[in-house]
Structure formats: structure tokens, C-alpha cells
Chain A
Amino acid sequence: MGLSLQILLPFFGGLAVLFAPRFGRDMERWGTIAVMAVTLLILIFISLNGDSGRWLQMVQADWAPSFGIQVLLAMDGLTAAMLAISAGLGIVCVFISWEVTHRSPLYHAVICWTVAAANGVFLSFDLLVFAFFWELMIIPAFLLIGLWGYGNRESAAMKFLVFNAVAGLGLLAAVFWMGATAPEITFDAFELAEAGYSTPVQVILLLGFALAFMVKLPVPPFHAWLPDAHTQAPTAGSILLAGLLLKTGAYGLFRFPPLLFPDGLMAVAPYGMALGAFGVVYGAILACGQFDAKRLIAYTSIAHMSIVLMGVCGGVHFALAGAGVEMIAHAFSSSALFLLIGALQHRTGTRDLRELGGLQKTAPAFATSFAVFFAAALAMPGTANFLGEALVITGMFQVNWAFAAIALVSLVVSVVYATRLIGAIVFGKPKAETAVFDDLKPYELWPIIALGAGTIVFGLFPQVLIGWLRPAIDAALLPLGVGAP
């Protein structure tokens, strides 16, 4: 029961929030915060009282038994971390949207529904229900970009939707084929893992799954939607995109290919690593050429998520662990960066690097937090991002030193874009736009502190995070025929 609340509570909470303004001013905001807080408390309670086996908790119930569909929810440490991020970002989104007044009840309901659908993705192990939530997740995010975005929002929203919905068809087709050809129709991932497909079949099915995951991640050449979506989305939309939706792609890649198609994954792994390596370089180089701060960070996201793809395809202990850590670390750092850029745009009306500068003089708190999170995005030692990327690259050296070397070189390139961004925004002389600049307000500062604490605590005490992820990492390695070191 407890696990289904992680989905039902935000979903019905979103419905309730629609009617909240009747009970007083700002009630939709407090209502959303309450829903997310209760969801988070239930999550903590379940995690602390979890079973000792492979899963902390597992829930199984019928949904449409005549078609073999069931509700099969399972949570381990990785899932718990993702669920915590999703509820936490839900709260962050409310705080930083305090000045959104345009159709505010629907806005907050849409935030709740995004969280509900993403939680469904993280928890479901019935592949059909997984696909259901996977597709469902697109709709609230689409509304968020299309209704509250900036200038060119409608075409950005359409682009986001068409890319993701079409890619979802690959997942759907693979899932349906697996279900329909099973001896008795079933979509249970654990049962289907035993189905014993031949390697060519596994490769085809894996490509169907991977299409959906790689578009969401996104890895070039499937990334064209992301820069537009990030640029046009409202701040909360960017945060949910970077912190949650991209991570569903990473999570899916981490969870399902090793479980369902180990032989297929091994067969295509070199190509996956090559694509990942290409993505790392491509994202880093394009980030160097951007003048729009949001676009720049969007391209760095492409680079960092490509590292996750490399890690999963590496299929060795270090690389896989690194992929797990990287997706959590990047959820913290990228959502914080989008929060800061959102604040910047709100105050100055521009994101153009050429019109900004000198914030270390006018807004020290902003400048400091910006520098900290960019250090994290750079994977400086001491941040969780460093741990993730270092582990992936270490693992890569065990598998293929060329790809590892490419990833390492891209870290050098990342210094270029990072210094450019920091230099343009934080240092230099204040320009006309930034001469008068209100520093971070408390409702922006608290989320920043929370996200920063996550980045640094996990960076300094990596064993905590690795310990949580351990069962998931071991379970992913087992079918690949690689034991823990």
C-alpha cells in the first residue's frame, strides 16, 4: 500500500490543489508543499522499515487480469533515492514559483502530476504499467512548457512532445511483443527476464527500449528537443526536466536493459559506449559556443547524461556504480543551476551572457552558489558529480581505454565552458542589466542550500550513497555475469 501512495498521493493531491484557492490565498502552494512533504515522510518511513532482502518493499495487485496487467511496484535504495529527489524537487518548484500567479492552481496541479507520473516510472516493474507512466509523464511536462513557458513555448512544447511520444512507441512495441509472445500474457519484468530470448531478439527489443530512454536522456542524435524545451520552459519546468524527466531515461537505462536483455546489452555495448563518448564530446563542445545561459546548461546536461550511457554500457562494477551516482548527483546540480538561471532571468530579463556580468559585487550569495554548482557540474573533487564521473571513467579504463580517454578529454573542454559561464556572469564589471540586482531571497536560498548540501555531503561521504545503491548495482551486474569486486 505504502508504495502506491507514492503515486496516488501526488496524483490526487494535484486534483485537490486545483480547488485549494477556495480555502484561502496561496493555499495551492502550501497544499502542494504538504502533499510532497507527506509523500516524502511516507517514503522515509518505508525506507527505514524496509525488508532486508533485495527489495525494501514490493507491492503486487491486479489491474487488468484479463490482459495479464498487474500493479507490480518494487523499491530498493536506488528507487528510494529517485523518489526522494522527485518529491524534494516538487517542493523546490513550489518555492521558486512563488511569483507565478497566472493560473496558479493548474500550475501546481501540473507539478504534482509530473511527480506522480515520474514516481510511477521509478516504481513500476510491470512493463506495461511502466510504459503507461512513461507516456503519462509527457503530458504534464508538455503543459508546463506550453502554458507557462517563454516566447516560443508552443513550438518547443510540440517538439518535446513529438520526440518523446514517438520514441515511446519503440518502448511500447517492444513491451507488447514481449507480453504477447509470452506463454501466458504477462508484462511482469521479473518473469520476462527469465524468458530466454536469443541474442538477436534481445538486441531488437533492447533497441526499442533504448530509443525511448535515449531520447529522454537525451543522447545525440536524439537530443534536438532538449535545448529548445529548456530555453522556453518556465524555471520549474526546467528543474523538473533536468532533475526528474532526464533521470527517468537514465533510470530506465540502468534498470531494464541489464535485467531483461543482458546478452543484447553486451552485444551492443561497444556502440552504446561510442555513442556515449560522442555525446560527451558533442555536448561539451556545443556548450562552449552558446551565449544563452540556459542553452549552455542544456548542452552540458547532454554531456553528463552521455556519461551515464557510457557507464551502463560499460557493464563493469565501477562504471555501473558511477552511472548510478552520476544520475543522482546531476539531478542536484543541474536543477540548482536552472533555478539560479531562472532567478537571473526573472531579475534582469535576459539570459544572454554578453549582457551579464559582475554579480560577485552586487549579489554575493547568488555568485557563490552559482560558482559552487558549476564546480559540481565540472565534477570537481568533493562533489558527488566527481564521484560519479570518476567511477565511470575508471570503469571505462577496464573496458576500453579509448572511450575513457575521450571522456577525460571532454572534462578539459568542460573547464572551457565553465570558466566562460562563470566569467561572464560572476566576474567582470557589472553591466547595465546587472548593476542593480536583488540577491537571493529566502525562498530561493533554502532550496539552493538543500541541493548544495546534497551535492557536497554525498561528495565527501560517497560511501553513504554507494551503500544505498549497492543492491541495485549488484542486481544489474548479476545477469551480465560480473560479480562485485
Chain B
Amino acid sequence: MTDGSIWSVAPLVLLGFAAILAMVLAPVQPTPRVRLAAAVPMALAVLILLFRLDAPEAPLSVLLADDGMARLGALLAAAAGLGTLSFTRTICTGREGPALVAIAATGGVALASANHGATLFLGLELTTLPMVALALMPRTEAAVEAGYKLFLIAGIGAGAVLMGLAFGFGASGSLRLDAWSVEGPIAAIGLAFLLVGLSVKFALVPFHMWSPDLFAGAPAPVGALAGSISKVAVAIAALRIGLSLPAPEIWKLGLLLTGGAAVILGNLAALRQDNLLRMLGYSSIAHSGYIALVLAVGGDLMGDTVLVYVASYAPAIIAAFAVAGLMGAETRLEDLRGLAWSRPLAGVALGVALLSMAGLPPAVGFIAKIYLFSSLAGEAAWGPLVIAAVGSALGFAYYLRFSIKIFTAPVGPTPRAVLNRADGLAMAVAVALVVALGLYPEPLTALVAASLP
């Protein structure tokens, strides 16, 4: 290890430290204080990552990469963790909430910089297991169902990843992801298994069953983690595999099928939902599908598109869940009526988040849609382009059905929602990011372009 590598590893260490600190403090301190204690080292990690964004690439170790992509992914994961932390409450996630969120963020950072089978597996488990624990916290029927579903299906996914790693090792004699560019049936089977494992985490159809239940049944921070950290980290891990291997057919075909199915099914199912969180759950399946389509099609813009897409989706989903956390799990379409008038910040945050997910200006989601369509059109992938266009057309219908309710005049009692300072801060930061990057995307696009090899 060189001197510089202290800084490379510092974010991971700080996040782990935050988790331990929160764990130690949880039995003796009230949740807000635990939250603050965990937030300080996490914020420090975000700052370090921000300052090191343009530092030269430093091969940290055989296990972890320290390149631009890893840093961007780590930044997103740590920031998402910080955002999620702000709305963990004793009432929904117990006193252990902050510690579990910090562990998940650590896992996300590890996964984003994984260039080795071992880190990949560890990162996946580190992000999944805290989500299971968090989901089980309220011990309601819905939460228990969500938690067990995630546990079982993610367990199968973990098994598939291990099988994939084993086959890959068998074919290439190494667990390093960049050593896997070997031909042959064994390597192909390995990749197929790996793809199944990642698809489970990414909620691609037909491995998506856990996702809507988790979004709707588990406490709000879990959905936020599933939508932000685990989406960012898995997308970056898949992108790393896609970039380091020369166009393996089985990988592309698998992503094309699961991704296309996810876009169609996710959007169609979301169209029928009346429950805000279920709608978000199905729509997040669709968003995973768009990313999978881009990874399947490849091309010059693949890397930029995946990174811009996850970077624009993460703040939107965190803002949406911050509001959903206030409103409760059983928030139906009618309950949102007039939210913008009774709680302006929460209403605007949810409205802007939905606008961004629908891909309309001035939200950053429009920029993500530019990249998505350009990347598919640039490769003349007409099939995926049509699927993506139909998907986003359906998206308009259900996202805007919800957002118009937020701004319509309230009748009867106004939505119940009590904001505290941390909630407000998380919402304000997320909205500011979504709108500012939507109006002036250059910082994001330049950062993304610089972070790709």
C-alpha cells in the first residue's frame, strides 16, 4: 500500500466506522443522536470522495478498484446512505436503523469498487442483509412477508452468484473480473449464473417478485436503500463486467430478455397501482429494465448512460421515500390530494421526484432519458428503443396521475405528515439536486464522462 491509498480506502473505513459507532450507541442513546453520530463519519466519507473525484487512478488492491467509476459509485452510495439515514425513525426501524443503513452503504461502496469475485459477493450480501433486517423490524405481517421474501429470493440469488464465480474461476483460473474474457461453455455458464444473481438484486423480470412487496410492506428506508444504493452499486458492478468483457453473447441476450420483460411488466403493473409505494416498486423494476437494455445493447454511450441514469434516479427515489416515510405505508392515490398545499416541501419533493422519474424537464430525469434514447438510437437498436419509448409513454400516465393529485385542491382533512429537520433537509437537498442538474447537467455529464475508462 502506498501513502495515497489511505485516502482510497478511507471512505470504506469511515462508513464501517459509522456502522460500528451506531451499533455501540444504539442501546444507550435515543435514535436522533445515534443518527447524528453515524451521519458525521458518513458525511466525512462523502466529502473525501468529492475531493478525490479527479484524483489519478490508484490500483488499491487485488480486491478493490479505485478508478473513476468506483469513486462515482461510492459517492452515490454514501450520499444515498446519508439521505436514507435522515428518515430512519425508532418507530419504523427500531434503534438499530442507523447502524443497518450504514452497513448497507458500506456494502454499496464495496460493490461499486468490486473488481474481484470475493468483493462482488461480499458487497452484494452487505447491501442485502441489512435490508432484510430493516424490513423485519416493524414485525407487522406485511413487513415480515417482505423481509422473508427478500431473504429467500436474495438467498437464491447469492447462490447463483457463487455458482457463477465458481464456473468463472474454473474457466479462467482467477476470480478477478477482468480476467474472465475467455471463450468456452464453462465461462458462458458462469456468466449466466452471475447474471441471474445480479438480476435478482436488480429486480429484473422474472426475478422481481420481492421488489413490490418490499417497497410497500417494509419501512420507507428499506425501499430507499433498494432503490438507490443497491441499484447504483449493482448497475456499476454489471457495467464493470460489461466493459471488461468483449461482448459475450449470453450476457447480452440475457440482459435483453430480462430487461425488456422488466420494462414491459414493470410499467404495465405500475399503471394499475393505487398505492404509492407499490407503484414506485413496479416502476423501479421498469427503471432497472431500461438500464439492462442499455447494458445489453452496448455501444459508445453505454457507460455514460448507465451512470447518468442511476445518478439521476437515486435522488428522486430518496426524495419519494422520504415523503412516503412521513405519509405511511398505506398511502393511496386519494391520500395524496392536496399534499402540496398542506405540506409544501413534501408535496413539491414528491412531485419533482415523480416528474424526474417520468423523464420530463426541468428534472434531471429528462437528461437521463436523453442518454437512454441516444444510446439505444445510436446503436440502431430499434427493438429496445421501441420498448423503452412505449415504457416511458406508459410512465407518463402513472407518474403524472399521482403528481396531479399532489397539486389538486384538498377536500376534507389534509394529509397527515409531520416533518422534522432531518426529513426536510433530505428532501430539500434531493429536490435541489434533481432540479439543478436538470437545468444545468454539465457537472454530472462531465463527471460521468471523466469517470469512465
Chain A positions within 8 Å of B, measured between CB atoms, are: 62-67, 69, 102-103, 128, 132-133, 135-136, 138-139, 142-143, 146-147, 154, 157-158, 161-162, 165-166, 169, 172-173, 176-177, 179-181, 185
Chain B residues with CB under 8 Å of A179's CB are 374
10 CB-based A-B contacts, threshold 8 Å:
A67-B304, A102-B409, A103-B409, A135-B361, A136-B360, A139-B360, A162-B396, A166-B396, A172-B373, A173-B389
Interface flags for B6-24 (1: CB within 8 Å of A; 0: not) read: 0000000000000000000
The docked-state distance in angstroms from the alpha carbon of A142 to that of B406 is 13
Within 8 A of A (CB), among B347-381: 355, 360-362, 366-367, 369-371, 373-375, 377-378
The docked-state distance in angstroms from the alpha carbon of A64 to that of B436 is 13
B44 at interface by CB-CB < 8 Å = no
Q: Once the chains bind, are A165 and B373 in contact (CB under 8 Å)?
A: no
Chain B residues with CB under 8 Å of A185's CB are 374
B33 at interface by CB-CB < 8 Å = no
Of B304, B392, B400, which one neighbours A161 at CB under 8 angstroms? B400
Chain A residue, CB-CB nearest to B401: A158
CB distance from A229 to the nearest CB of B (A): 14
Chain A residues with CB under 8 Å of B389's CB are 169, 173
Of B355, B370, B375, B442, which one neighbours A66 at CB under 8 angstroms? B442
Chain B residues with CB under 8 Å of A66's CB are 442, 445-446, 449
Size category, B interface: 35 or more
CB distance from A164 to the nearest CB of B (A): 9
CB distance from B274 to the nearest CB of A (A): 15
Chain B residue, CB-CB nearest to A65: B442
B408 at interface by CB-CB < 8 Å = yes
B385 at interface by CB-CB < 8 Å = yes
Q: Once the chains bind, are B404 and A157 in contact (CB under 8 Å)?
A: yes
Chain B residues with CB under 8 Å of A142's CB are 400, 404
CB distance from B439 to the nearest CB of A (A): 9
Chain A residue, CB-CB nearest to B445: A66
CB distance from B226 to the nearest CB of A (A): 28
Q: Once the chains bind, are B377 and A176 in contact (CB under 8 Å)?
A: yes
Chain B residues with CB under 8 Å of A62's CB are 442
The docked-state distance in angstroms from the alpha carbon of A181 to that of B129 is 44
B419 at interface by CB-CB < 8 Å = no
CB distance from B359 to the nearest CB of A (A): 9
Of B378, B392, B400, B440, which one neighbours A180 at CB under 8 angstroms? B378
Main secondary structure of the interface of B (DSSP, over half): helix
The docked-state distance in angstroms from the alpha carbon of A172 to that of B368 is 13
Which 10 residue pairs across A and B have the least CB separation, nearest first?
A180-B378, A177-B377, A176-B373, A176-B374, A136-B361, A180-B374, A165-B396, A166-B393, A66-B445, A64-B442
Main secondary structure of the interface of A (DSSP, over half): helix
The docked-state distance in angstroms from the alpha carbon of A165 to that of B361 is 11
Chain B residue, CB-CB nearest to A157: B404
The docked-state distance in angstroms from the alpha carbon of A225 to that of B361 is 22
Chain B residues with CB under 8 Å of A157's CB are 404
Q: Once the chains bind, are A146 and B408 in contact (CB under 8 Å)?
A: yes
Q: Once the chains bind, are A154 and B404 in contact (CB under 8 Å)?
A: yes
A135 and B360 in contact, given A65-B442, A147-B408 (Cβ under 8 angstroms): yes
CB distance from A401 to the nearest CB of B (A): 40
The docked-state distance in angstroms from the alpha carbon of A133 to that of B304 is 23
A161 and B377 in contact, given A135-B361, A142-B404, A169-B389 (Cβ under 8 angstroms): no
Chain A residue, CB-CB nearest to B371: A67
Chain A residues with CB under 8 Å of B445's CB are 64, 66-67
The docked-state distance in angstroms from the alpha carbon of A173 to that of B390 is 12
B148 at interface by CB-CB < 8 Å = no
CB distance from B374 to the nearest CB of A (A): 4
Q: Once the chains bind, are A138 and B360 in contact (CB under 8 Å)?
A: yes
B301 at interface by CB-CB < 8 Å = yes
Q: Once the chains bind, are A165 and B377 in contact (CB under 8 Å)?
A: no
Chain A residues with CB under 8 Å of B91's CB are none
Of B366, B370, B449, which one neighbours A176 at CB under 8 angstroms? B370
The docked-state distance in angstroms from the alpha carbon of A179 to that of B373 is 11
CB distance from B299 to the nearest CB of A (A): 9
The docked-state distance in angstroms from the alpha carbon of A67 to that of B307 is 14
B407 at interface by CB-CB < 8 Å = yes
CB distance from B281 to the nearest CB of A (A): 22
- Of B355, B370, B385, B440, the most chain A CB neighbours within 10 A belong to B370
Chain A residues with CB under 8 Å of B393's CB are 162, 165-166, 169
- Of B361, B367, B407, the most chain A CB neighbours within 10 A belong to B361
Q: Once the chains bind, are A154 and B408 in contact (CB under 8 Å)?
A: yes
Chain A residues with CB under 8 Å of B369's CB are 172
B47 at interface by CB-CB < 8 Å = no
Chain A residues with CB under 8 Å of B396's CB are 161-162, 165-166
The docked-state distance in angstroms from the alpha carbon of A138 to that of B360 is 9
Within 8 A of A (CB), among B396-434: 396-397, 400-401, 404, 407-409
The docked-state distance in angstroms from the alpha carbon of A64 to that of B364 is 13
